Amino acid sequence: MTTSFKTLLNTDIQSTRTKLHEAIPITGTILSGTYTLPAAPPAATSEENIKNYTHGLFQSVYDYPYLSSSANHILDLTVGYSTGSDMSASNSIQNSQKLQMYNQMAQVLVGYDTSGNIRPFDEDGDLGSGTKLQSAYFLNFARLLSKDEIQKGTFYMDLSVSPSGATAGGSAPGAVTTNVVRVYDASGSTSWKVNSPVGEYNILYATASTSHTLKNQIVPVGLIYYQAGIVVLSSSIFQIHASGGILSDKIGDGTTINKVILTPNATAGGGYGVTGSFQSSSISGACNAFRSRVQNLYFANTTELNSTIYFCRANASEFNYSSNPTYVTASKIRVKEARSDEPITYMTSVGLYGANNELLAVAKLSEPLKKTPANEFTLRVRLDY
């Protein structure tokens, strides 16, 4: 306890910013396959960790059955396309909802042009006359995982672009593990774009270990918004180059193909490609097909820790006495054996006071420090927020 105060000078107060990072690996089996249970025929399934809503606009993915108290929300997944997309048609299932989802995401992430129209997603991020992402999958990561932002340059996702998947022939949805393409944040650690209403973002690129899988190696396929924690992935990742996509027409064993089957359908030549999946499936159905294609997903998050550091200096002639009543007995200082002995105190805590001498914070020392006129201390007190 003390009744003496020492004013902190401007040079005694410093502010710092620290960024903490945490690795977030998500396996494809969490997104599809781990919690799959057989349900009513024909070959339908229910996944305990996937929550579908009555509005049908998106589905939520959890790391555990979502009805469990142990479940953690991982991400929300949805699909959408613009009015300029060839997928938009009056007879498409949930056509208006898919248009609404695209417009909502574009409105938030891209904003409006000078005429007040919602800008479409731009492949190169320049918002000019370049190639637009007219149809896309949207992955909105939970704040529990992304924290303040996704760390730049760390995101990647492995997707199977196998021509026929485990869903072909009407079987239950399951993971597809062949012909893998990696979508990654190629230049996020060195450069990024800032012309978005929600902060910094960058272009995602696709590459494959086998050159015949992609028509061209290292091609743009989407966007990642760091602070928003949202990934926009173009549907072209599952399209053949002749149909406007990025894939070679010879995937796997070299057989020429015209589509990658995402949704099974006996009347559609074995199943729907990405265009048919977007048009003939509900939003949840298109999301189910996408989830079964994910092999791995990884990024590191960022937590920004702001700190104010106070350098509390006890000079040689300061804080050598205490006003604590136990400091004296019979009007004599307890720690002095002779009148000629130096005064001694033991510092155990530091109090930070406001302008009106009101106590605002207390910092405790790990052990008492012996203070005499023969020594001095500088105590570093940090407040994090």
Q: Which residues contact 304 (CB under 8 A, 6 or more apart)?
A: 17, 18, 19, 148, 149
- φ/ψ of residue 107, rounded to 5: -60, -40
Q: 243: how many CB neighbours lie within 10 A of its CB?
A: 17
Contact between residue 322 and residue 349 where contact means Cβ atoms under 8 Å apart: no
Q: What is the average pLDDT value for the chain, to the nearest integer?
A: 86
What is the C-alpha separation between 226 and 372, in angstroms, rounded? Answer: 53
Report pLDDT for 43: 44
What is the per-residue pLDDT for 269?
67
Beta partners for residue 158, in sequence order: 182, 296
Amino acid identity for residue 133 in this structure:
L
Output the pLDDT for position 173.
43
Residue range 17-29: mean pLDDT, rounded: 92
For 260-279, how does the pLDDT look when each residue is reduced to its tens digit (9 = 90+)? 888 877 666 678 889 888 99
Q: Quick: pLDDT tens for 114-148.
A: 899 999 999 888 777 778 899 999 999 999 999 99
Delimit the domains of the chain by residue range.
18-303, 315-384
Q: Name which of 237-241, 247-251, 275-279, 285-289 the model is least confident about.
A: 247-251
pLDDT tens figures, 175-213: 566 788 999 998 887 889 998 999 999 999 999 877 678
Judged against a pLDDT cut of 60, whether residue 168 lies above it is answered with no
**What is the predicted pLDDT for the residue at 175?**
56
Q: Are strands 328-329 and 332-333 parallel, antiparallel or unpaired?
A: antiparallel
296-355 confidence digits (pLDDT tens): 999 999 999 999 999 999 999 888 887 777 777 777 777 776 777 788 888 889 999 988
Question: How confident is the model over 72-129, as pLDDT tens digits?
Answer: 999 999 999 999 888 888 888 999 999 999 999 999 999 998 899 999 999 888 777 7
Length of the chain: 385
- Does the pTM exceed 0.85? no
Checking if the pLDDT of 172 tops 60, the result is no
Q: Which amino acid is at 336?
A: K
Residue 273 is which amino acid? G
pLDDT 10s digits, 32-62:
888 876 654 444 457 889 999 999 999 999 9
Does residue 337 sit in helix, strand or coil?
coil
